[in-house]
Structure 1
């Protein structure tokens, strides 16, 4: 099996919670690149939150960010962009304001909050980025180049009901995914890590059978299913492991590097 493109999730996969990329994973990424495999990051994160991680790998690679809405290399080359409709963004802001739901938006790789509090502080710490509180009305003035909107719910027990409300209101004018139990990530229809990966493969003239994907969360599922060979982290849930071709070690034990060693370097 020859792997020409490796697509990896970040949090819980390449990255341990809140920590830099481990030396073991950096060494594995560089070894894979030396062996001829392009290593790409596929994440729900914004570009500027993913960029330092990609730079830590020491490679100039394309990064699939915002769950596939923006593909941009570490050196700044834009491969692909897909925005949310501006009118839909305004309606989402009003919808959340009526329900007092906490909302974040990502316009032109800038981060905005409906209000600054515990949710936004937690997010800034985990992503190592700083946003700006603009209110719901302020968000409606910043809807150009909107890659993603994110609702953080009051808890995973209410998330399905909130998603159902959004689905009933907006239907197929939006797509939704989750990278955490209390996250509702809103993107344009047709946008996903899988679609981003497929687009990148086309641009690089790589067949889907030559792609390996590795991840741990629900928003990784489309990407894992799309790749020719898929690997679940040992810390992934059982439903993720059930659809992959292989399972590697836990994130905390450099399971990512273990997968690269076994399936790309054949060691």
Structure 2
């Protein structure tokens, strides 16, 4: 069945770093769009951080941001929005403060954290954006309207332990997942890239069998399992490769472009970039 909706993760999939999309990936996306395929983004990033990428691609289709918490087009149309209950967000922030953990919030499209620190600088540098230090009381003052909260840790072991602790305490109200070894995403219960993919496909009039998704990280797993067909990046975590139907080249080798040419457009040996067998 032809692919009508192609959904791509950003970091580690379309982008090796920051907001710069390679010319190869841009060209492949535009070829797919010219062929009638709706190409969009599904990311854990805030909408404002994903927007420059959509603009570089030249597409004005709904973007899935905050790991499914917000579906919004570059032109500003909100298709769907889910936020963490304000009281739950308050308790989560207090939970982290009591343990000395770093946590950041995103209400109103602004990144906020308590104070400048290594974790904040790491995130800002990786996303090429600037947050606002507001103190703990400032975080407590902005508990409404958060599509997600994020913890930055020292690495996978610490992330695994903290994610389990948060899940035990708040698992009836939120879902907790690791998007990378040092990132813990906290989103409203039942919300994920998978739920957003299904919802967007329905809104656009496509069956799930007509969708294809590509990604590299743990938070991509639900989306890859939900899509009609799925592709793992060559740099993906082993669990992601195991769950996907196909594997493409690494991000630095324009694996997204290779996947589009091979699995979406069916160009095979005629594709402009090398293709990896799977």
Same fold (TM over 0.5): yes
Alignment-derived partner of residue 85 in structure 1: 85
- The answer (yes or no) to whether the contact 1:107–1:147 under 8 Å persists in 2 is yes
SS in 1 for 2:156: coil
Alignment-derived partner of residue 251 in structure 2: 251
Alignment-derived partner of residue 131 in structure 2: 131
Q: Deviations over 1:16-42 (max 9, x none)?
A: 123610000000000000100000100
Shift of the alpha carbon at 1:182?
1.3
Distance 2:39 2:242 in 1: 24
Alignment-derived partner of residue 14 in structure 1: 14
SS in 2 for 1:147: coil
Shift of the alpha carbon at 1:207?
0.2
Alignment-derived partner of residue 63 in structure 1: 63
The answer to whether structure 1 residue 28 and structure 2 residue 28 are counterparts is yes
Distance 1:155 1:42 in 2: 24
- The answer (yes or no) to whether the contact 1:84–1:147 under 8 Å persists in 2 is yes
Q: Could you list the structure 1 runs, at least 4 aligned residues long, displaced by more than 6 angstroms after superposition.
A: none
RMSD: 1.0
SS in 2 for 1:15: coil
TM-score, L = length of structure 1 = 0.97
Alignment-derived partner of residue 180 in structure 1: 180
Alignment-derived partner of residue 167 in structure 2: 167
Distance 2:146 2:20 in 1: 28
Counterparts of residues 201-220 of structure 1 (less than 5 Å): 201-220=201-220
The answer to whether structure 1 residue 149 and structure 2 residue 149 are counterparts is yes
Distance 1:153 1:238 in 2: 21
Shift of the alpha carbon at 1:237?
1.9
Distance 1:32 1:171 in 2: 39
5+ residue gaps, structure 1: none
Q: Deviations over 1:103-123 (max 9, x none)?
A: 100102111002211111121
**What is the aligned residue count?**
267
SS in 2 for 1:36: coil
Alignment-derived partner of residue 190 in structure 1: 190
SS in 2 for 1:178: strand
SS in 2 for 1:101: coil
5+ residue gaps, structure 2: 268-278
Distance 2:104 2:150 in 1: 5
Distance 2:237 2:11 in 1: 14
SS in 1 for 2:103: strand
TM-score, L = length of structure 2 = 0.94
Shift of the alpha carbon at 1:156?
2.1
- The answer (yes or no) to whether the contact 1:108–1:147 under 8 Å persists in 2 is no
- The answer (yes or no) to whether the contact 2:163–2:177 under 8 Å persists in 1 is no
